Structure 1
Amino acid sequence: MFNAPRRMGGPALAQSSLLKSTSSSAYADPLASSAPLPGGSGFGDLDPWSAAPSPARSETPRRDSAGEDIVPGVGAGIGSGLGGGREGLNGLIDDPPALYASLLEQLDPNNLGEVSLSSVHRLLATSRLPAITVEKIINLTSREKSSLARQEFFCALALVALAQSSPSSDPDISIEQLSASLAKLPLPDLKANPSPSNNNTLNVPLAPARGYSEGESPSISNGFDAWETAARQNGNDHSDVSASGFGEEIPTSTGYSVNGSAFQEGGPGVEAESQKDYWKKLETVEVSLTQKEGWFLQKYTVESSRRSAGPVSRRYSDFVWLLDTLLKRYPFRLLPALPPKRIGPDAIFLETRRKGLRRFINFVVNHPVMKDDGALNVFLTEPSFESWRKRTKVSTDEESLSKKLNHAQEMSIPADLEEKLGVLRDHLPAILGSYQKLVVLAERGLGRLQAQAGDASRMALSVQSVGEEMRGCCYRCVAGATGGCSLCEGVGRGLGEVGESWTRVAEESEKRAATILSTHIESLKSQRDLYLSFRDLFVRHDRFAKDSVESLRKKVETRQKKAESLKAAQKAGWEVEVDKLVAATDQDNSQITILLARRVFIRACMWHELSIVHHSRQAAQATLGWRQFARDQNAGVKAIGGVWEALEERLDAMPVD
């Protein structure tokens, strides 16, 4: 029921909760085996949606000796003196003040339940607390991670309020002290940092030690398409529903496609020419999450850049309906798989599925044949899609029944098509395994970059703390000493500059991580999906291309022999029997003609998908994707290099003796 769209292999995604420990999860590693694609079938058992469970978010709640819940994941000893249920610190986390929830919403706009350490550092920097106090608060709550979960973030805010309410310049900050002061705890004096870097805050947890799997890379930006280099155009690109199989049939041209856009008159050479620079004319469909309706119903907002209906609301089951319809109409076309469905999905699973749905729908709307399908157009434009489905009977006839090839198109099919397809079939397992490894390696690199961003924030905190404490360690700067120490003051200012530079490095690392997540990893997955689509196409071809021509021919031969024997015997009523045999033979011959035409049409489809769709897209996507990656990496390295160059110039004035 829940994994129906996954047409090819693999166990279902293991269910995970927001309260599972990362260390207890087992992650499949495609790099652990030298075989690119293990499995029984000719294409292996590669299933990108079920390589591993979702990354765990935080620890399972523990219980103290009294059997009461201890708030998980907020540092060692956090449960001391806490009550369970709605009391104590647990009660504050379960039912936080409005300010806490507002700050979390600002720093976690995608509702992933995680706030990056750099974002927390920027927020706590507005508290006007000493750097050493801020460092202590982060160390108490983050537990050496590069992000804070929801409960950890709320605990950090409560510790800030505790520190701000203390009359001492060096307040006693601890979980025990916080628990004892909850009854009179004020709200923290903070504000979200409106700096531009906050727009690209990476609110995702670190990748586990063995790397993210396919289902675990939450997206940051819904609006970036790695292959789209041309500006979006808003226009009306509607196709009549009846032109693609429902409603009243519309006369079509003599070309291969209903509107002539797929195979143009003159053969595939003309069409191949028309596909040049196709990546400059892409239609872009954005898929974004909307609020849940009830416990299970998750809806998506779908909006095309070229269809003027505006945003429409769709359920996951509507995507399943669209895929099933297209599979029945176009069984011999490239179609990507849908991400799976599961009960009780967490925020990361939902975000991963949203990205998978986006890749699916953008593949379909830019396919030279399916982009003009009426069902697809209704899916993208109909505001009341559910009621439309109830009142409209949609034809699922195979496209070979309504589309005919002309003589030039038939002659353009190469005689050695099976050999050409066989070459790709033989190499698919290896290239799929390679792309799966590339995705895993890219996600591991993302995890390391996120960890670097967290470590840079910690470096900034520690260096700033040292700069503040240096004067307290100097006999000339302590209270009561005459004069001051210009050396310590100068070094302290220099260390402040160093801390500020580390903060900049953390922000730039976050930006690079967000870019890698929204562009490079998605680009690799789009390329991998292309090969997965052809693998699935081979499977469908092996299943559905078979026909009954040979058996019908044998029946025709048997009837003809029988008719001849009846004519020779000329028994009473032989004319009636012969007429029946002739009528049945004519019917079978007509069916044979249709099936033979379908054979040729299937060959034309396979040649079209191989030579036009697959060939152009695998080249364009690889080239444009790696070009974009090189540009992004170069820009990121230059930005971080600029930070260190500027620091080097500023530290020239830092005193030595």
Structure 2
Amino acid sequence: MFLTVPTELAVWRKQATISVQEEFVDKLLPPGLEESLPADLEGTFETVRSGIRRSAETYIGLCNLLERIEKRHEGVAADYRRFSQGLEALTDASEATYRLDTSEVGPLNDGLVSVARHMNTAQNIMEDEIKAWDAGVLEDLKRQRDGLVSMRELFERKDKFAGDNIAFLEKRIRTTEEKLKSARVKPADQVKPGEVEKMEQSIVADRESIVRQRARGVLIRECVMDELVFFQGTQYHVSRLQQDWAQERIKYAELYADNWKALGNAVDAMPLAD
């Protein structure tokens, strides 16, 4: 509706009837579903939950660390630019600085300009690398982090909303059955009108509630299991993001190396003492 409603969403919400009924209400339990679920599923849930909790915290930290690394690289790139500007400023002062013999000031300045130029190139490579990290590996890490956090919150919702009162109802049924048994052997004049029927209806209602809650519990376990099956595929996303990042690091390492090799060739012509 957010994407398609032809009016302001706030206006639509005021007049819309939004159902908040739980998805498992009145949903029939498919035959054989409970038997198809692993017997130790709850134990598996607890094991996975523990791993997800630890992994989520680690990925949160990794995202923060990479953002800090990006900031530091931004600072280095800015310093490269300042360093280049400083070298260019030196060329303006070279002739005055070495006034006694200016014959080699030209090659000296050419070398300084070459270093400044390659420092600028290094700055551009680093800024491009930062952008690639931001759009690439950082987004991949955040995607993995968000998936883990979502699963962690799924288990938290399960804890909060998947409970039942079956044990209480079973106890109440036993108590009501005892009362019903006693009421049936009492003389009719000692039993309130409708009391027996009321207790019978209470037992029926409690048993129906137990059936519904047990079915709901099975459906919830199936739902969480389906989420885990889907989540299992994120391990391949981890592999891909690391492979992509490795290739990206190789790419930029080669760009840096080519730049510094070119710089080495450029400064070979700078004047040296005999």
Distance 1:494 1:535, change over 3 A: same
Where does 1:85-484 land on structure 2 (aligned, <5 Å)?
Answer: 378-382=1-5, 384-401=8-25, 403-475=27-99
Aligned to 1:12: none
Aligned to 1:552: 169
Where does 1:514-533 land on structure 2 (aligned, <5 Å)?
Answer: 514-533=131-150
| 1:576-606 Cα distance to aligned partner (Å, 9 max, x none) | 3322222232222222211111111121122
| 1:594-632 Cα distance to aligned partner (Å, 9 max, x none) | 11111111211222222x132222x03311221222122
| 1:235-292 Cα distance to aligned partner (Å, 9 max, x none) | xxxxxxxxxxxxxxxxxxxxxxxxxxxxxxxxxxxxxxxxxxxxxxxxxxxxxxxxxx
Say whether 1:650 aligns with 2:266. Answer: yes
Per the normalisation by structure 1, the TM-score is 0.38
Q: Distance in 2 between matches of 1:512 and 1:637?
A: 10
Query: Who wins on radius of gyration, i.e. which is larger?
Result: 2
2:214 aligned to which of 588, 596, 599: 596
Gapped runs of 5+ residues in structure 2? none
| 1:194-232 Cα distance to aligned partner (Å, 9 max, x none) | xxxxxxxxxxxxxxxxxxxxxxxxxxxxxxxxxxxxxxx
| 1:515-572 Cα distance to aligned partner (Å, 9 max, x none) | 2233323332332333333333333222222212222222223333333333322404
Aligned to 1:585: 203
Q: Distance in 2 between matches of 1:406 and 1:380?
A: 34
* Residue type at the aligned position of 1:385: L
Q: Distance in 1 between matches of 2:5 and 2:90?
A: 62
Say whether 1:641 aligns with 2:265. Answer: no
* Residue type at the aligned position of 1:420: T
Runs of 4+ in 1 over 6 A off after TM superposition: none
Aligned to 2:230: 613
Q: Distance in 1 between matches of 2:271 and 2:33?
A: 80
Aligned to 2:114: 497
* Residue type at the aligned position of 2:205: Q
Distance 1:447 1:608, change over 3 A: same
Aligned to 2:194: 576
**Residue pair 1:566, 1:574 contacting (<8 A) in 2 also:** no
* Residue type at the aligned position of 1:521: L
Amino-acid identity (%)? 27
Q: Distance in 1 between matches of 2:42 and 2:254?
A: 50
2:243 aligned to which of 604, 607, 627: 627
Query: Highest relative contact order (Cα 8 Å, sep 6+), 1 or 2?
Result: 2
Q: Distance in 1 between matches of 2:106 and 2:29?
A: 84
**Residue pair 1:547, 1:595 contacting (<8 A) in 2 also:** yes
Q: Matched residue pairs, number?
A: 271
Structure 2 residue matching 1:399: 3-state secondary structure:
coil
Query: Once the 2 structures are TM-superposed, how far is the Cα of residue 641 of structure 1 from its aligned partner?
Result: 1.9
Per the normalisation by structure 2, the TM-score is 0.86
Q: Distance in 1 between matches of 2:113 and 2:184?
A: 109
